[in-house]
């Protein structure tokens, strides 16, 4: 009883700390920078106890180049240094990579062709020249390397190991192939044969940042290939680990785990065991000992009668990223021991983000299906986080979302007054629904699952939104959106504190936030959070400064 009361006391104290941290009424530690209306030009990179770097594209131009300004702030949000770096006018930020050990920020910039492809939602389509800017986060010194993409590409990842930059992605189908595939789809042939004109080839562009030389290393697989994930190895040997899906024919799909050296050369490859008709959608790897490693991610089930072609999901090309559940796989050296699959329908709390009525209806359908020996399938797009190790548990967090469209109709009249109505669907952003949390033991047994509702995010910028902090047995889940911090505390499959909405403080009394957009947050260092975004603020007490549009970033601490 005494132990129970003590645990309850600490749980109440933790809830009080979080609510206090997110409800401070004192003057906030905050920076505001005047911004253009509807701007999304500013970027924040947290550096832990070293502070943060804020960088953006300025309006200043000279000799065909524009200036990008990089500013380092310490943990008290005071400026340490500012650097201006000239970049070609046509270039925009593609991705960046922070090497904390070398105190270096690497920024990849290039000419972006904005596309909205539901096959590769997290990729960026680029062509032409690119630049890699590396900045010493302590001193502000920097260098710029120039390069050129060999063709139009979709960039999925950017990693720097031992001063060698690796740009990963895949070649894009040309316009002719796209048109041919569209015509082929109307014949319904792909629905029965899996035939596709699309050819996706994954690649690695390796750039030596010391001499500027770069080489393109293609994946030598027959058919279509997709890099599911890539990351640096978590040991003392510098190399990159990638997970690849390969579709050599209409009836075959293979999965590989490849290790590449820092200069892009293949060190070893491991072909995953047969997944019994399952298709891996995402993969995260964690080394747990010298010889053992774990891979956790999401999967879908391949249709028995080939891949029915659906342009929205790209099933015919083998490039679909739809998920039906979570798998757990263990490796011993270069050999895969086993792989276990857990459909979302088997999770206790997967649907708890829905209102009670809807959840009840779906669970009733699920129960009826199970009585008939069938399984109700839940299809979701999932953004998977890195694996979190907590005590003897391995936790995967995934954020569910779907592309949302809006139908608009227009009516015109001919000379006889007869109406003709045409309707079109317009992509308006990605709608997040919830985060699923699943914990496994070392043997791949599902221990518990939980859910964090995300009912309000609609954005064009697809990325991980939910931030995670471990506190003893409790897990704090939080994200920033619309000028509020949304948080929830869970302990295993129990919700310790339900979802809380706390408004982000502004600089002055009587400030009224009229609009907030592109907000985000991260756990910064120790017990401090960093949140940032854009706001349109009105304050009648400020005279001619009554209205202001700003980019802001706030430091918020757990007291």
Q: How confident is the model at residue 488 (pLDDT cuts 50, 70, 90)?
A: very high
The pLDDT value given to residue 1: 52
State how far the Cα of 328 lies from the Cα of 396, in Å rounded to an integer. Answer: 10
The pLDDT value given to residue 104: 95
Mean pLDDT for the stretch of residues 376-400: 92
Q: How confident is the model at residue 134 (pLDDT cuts 50, 70, 90)?
A: very high
The pLDDT value given to residue 176: 65
Least confident of 171-185, 266-280, 306-320: 306-320
The CB density around residue 490, as the number of other CB atoms within 10 Å, is 20
The pLDDT value given to residue 118: 43
Beta strand segments in 456-546, E: 458-459, 467-471, 474-481, 484-491, 494-503, 512-525, 528-538
Q: Give tens-digit pLDDT for 63-107.
A: 788 999 999 999 999 999 999 999 999 899 999 999 988 999 999
The pLDDT value given to residue 437: 96
Q: Give tens-digit pLDDT for 205-237.
A: 888 888 888 888 878 888 888 888 888 866 666
The pLDDT value given to residue 18: 52
Question: Could you tell me the sign of the dihedral formed by the alpha carbons of 380, 287, 522, 47, in that order?
Answer: negative
Mean pLDDT for the stretch of residues 483-497: 91
Which pair of tokens denotes residue 364?
Answer: 């009733």
The pLDDT value given to residue 127: 82
Residue 155: which H helix or E strand, with range? strand 153-161
- Phi and psi torsions of 10, nearest 5°: -65, -35
Residue 19: which H helix or E strand, with range? helix 2-21
State how far the Cα of 359 lies from the Cα of 544, in Å rounded to an integer. Answer: 52
Q: How confident is the model at residue 313 (pLDDT cuts 50, 70, 90)?
A: very low
Q: Where in the chain is the domain with CATH 2.40.128?
A: 41-149
Q: How confident is the model at residue 30 (pLDDT cuts 50, 70, 90)?
A: very high
Q: Comparing C-alpha atoms, which of 198, 189, 38 is closest to residue 117?
A: 198
Q: Give tens-digit pLDDT for 158-199.
A: 999 888 999 988 876 666 665 665 565 556 555 555 555 566
Helix/strand/coil (H, E, C) string of 350-408?
Answer: CCCCCCHHHHHHHHHHHHHHHHCCCCCCCCEEEEECCCEEECCEEEEEEEEEEEEEEEE
pTM, 2 dp = 0.84
The pLDDT value given to residue 490: 93
- Percentage above 70 pLDDT, the chain: 82
Mean pLDDT for the stretch of residues 339-363: 90
**Span between the terminal Cα atoms of the chain, in Å:** 29
Confidence check: pLDDT of 491 > 60:
yes
The pLDDT value given to residue 27: 55
The pLDDT value given to residue 25: 43
Most confident of the ranges 208-222, 266-280, 350-364: 350-364
Residue whose tokens read 């798998």: 327
Fold (topology level) of 41-149: Lipocalin (2.40.128)
Mean pLDDT for the stretch of residues 485-489: 93
The pLDDT value given to residue 75: 95
């Amino acid at each position: 009883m005494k132990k129970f009361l003590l645990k309850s006391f600490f749980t109440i104290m933790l809830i009080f700390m979080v609510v206090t941290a997110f409800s401070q009424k004192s003057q906030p530690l905050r920076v505001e920078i005047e911004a253009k209306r509807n701007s999304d030009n500013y970027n924040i990179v947290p550096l832990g106890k070293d502070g943060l770097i804020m960088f953006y594209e300025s309006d200043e131009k000279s000799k065909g180049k524009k200036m990008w300004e990089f500013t380092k702030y310490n943990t008290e949000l005071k400026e340490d240094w500012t650097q201006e770096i000239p970049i070609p006018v046509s270039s925009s930020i593609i991705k960046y990579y922070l090497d904390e050990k070398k105190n270096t920020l690497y920024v990849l910039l290039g000419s972006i062709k904005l596309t909205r492809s539901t096959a590769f939602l997290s990729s960026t389509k680029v062509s032409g020249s690119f630049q890699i800017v590396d900045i010493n986060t302590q001193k502000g010194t920097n260098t710029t390397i120039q390069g050129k993409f060999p063709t139009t590409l979709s960039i999925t990842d950017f990693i720097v190991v031992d001063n060698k930059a690796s740009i990963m992605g895949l070649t894009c189908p040309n316009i002719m192939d796209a048109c041919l595939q569209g015509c082929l789809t109307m014949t319904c042939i792909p629905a029965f044969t899996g035939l596709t004109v699309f050819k996706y080839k994954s690649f690695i562009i390796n750039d030596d940042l010391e001499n500027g030389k770069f080489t393109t290393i293609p994946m030598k697989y027959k058919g279509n290939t997709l890099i599911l994930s890539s990351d640096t190895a978590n040991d003392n040997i510098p190399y990159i680990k990638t997970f690849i899906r390969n579709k050599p024919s209409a009836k075959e799909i293979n999965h590989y785990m490849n290790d590449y050296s820092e200069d892009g050369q293949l060190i070893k490859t491991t072909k995953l065991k047969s997944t019994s008709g399952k298709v891996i959608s995402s993969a995260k790897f964690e080394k747990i000992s010298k010889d053992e490693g774990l891979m956790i991610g999401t999967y879908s089930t391949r249709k028995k009668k080939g891949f029915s072609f659906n342009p929205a999901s790209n099933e015919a090309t083998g490039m679909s990223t739809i998920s039906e559940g979570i798998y757990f796989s263990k490796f011993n050296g270069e050999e895969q021991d086993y792989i276990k699959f857990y459909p979302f329908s088997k999770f206790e709390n997967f649907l708890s983000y829905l209102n009670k009525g809807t959840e009840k209806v779906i669970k009733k359908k699920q129960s009826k299906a199970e009585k008939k020996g069938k399984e109700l399938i839940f299809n979701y797009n999932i953004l998977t986080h890195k694996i979190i190790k907590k005590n003897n548990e391995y936790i995967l967090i995934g954020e569910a979302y779907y592309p949302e469209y809006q139908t608009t109709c227009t009516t015109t009249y001919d000379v006889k007054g007869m109406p003709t109505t045409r309707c079109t669907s317009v992509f308006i952003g990605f709608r997040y629904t919830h985060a699923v949390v699943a914990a496994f033991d070392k043997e791949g047994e599902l221990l518990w699952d939980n859910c964090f509702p995300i009912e309000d995010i609609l954005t064009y910028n697809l990325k991980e939104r939910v931030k995670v902090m471990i506190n003893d047995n409790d897990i704090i889940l939080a994200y920033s959106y619309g000028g509020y911090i949304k948080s929830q505390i869970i302990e295993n499959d129990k919700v310790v504190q339900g979802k809380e909405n706390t408004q982000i403080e502004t600089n002055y009394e009587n400030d009224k936030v009229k609009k907030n957009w592109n907000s985000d947050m991260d756990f910064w260092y120790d017990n401090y959070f960093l949140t940032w975004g854009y706001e349109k603020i009105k304050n009648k007490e400020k005279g001619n400064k009554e209205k202001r549009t700003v980019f802001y970033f706030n430091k918020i601490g757990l007291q």
